[in-house]
């Protein structure tokens, strides 16, 4: 499923960037050498980043 239609970024692309240390949507775009166009995907990316942080915090307990 696409997260960013403008740049063709799929959920797995965003997830890989998060696993590699992306902490902000800007980091995801930089990792894939692109830039936000319409920014409709930014909220979903933020949610994915937060979910990744939450999962990491649970795993660390």
pLDDT tens sequence across 39-52: 999 999 999 999 99
| Domain edges within the chain | 2-60
- Select from 39, 42, 43, 23 the least CA-distant residue to 31: 23
- Select from 17, 54, 56 the least CA-distant residue to 3: 17
Annotation: CATH topology of 2-60:
Arc Repressor Mutant, subunit A (1.10.10)
Tens of pLDDT, residue by residue over 1-38, are 999 999 999 999 999 999 999 999 999 999 999 999 99
């Amino acid at each position: 499923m696409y997260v960013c239609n403008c740049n063709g970024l799929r959920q797995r692309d965003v997830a890989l960037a998060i696993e590699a240390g992306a902490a902000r949507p800007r980091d995801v775009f930089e990792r894939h050498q692109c830039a936000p166009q319409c920014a409709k995907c930014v909220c979903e990316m933020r949610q994915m980043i937060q979910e990744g942080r939450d999962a990491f915090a649970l795993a660390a307990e």
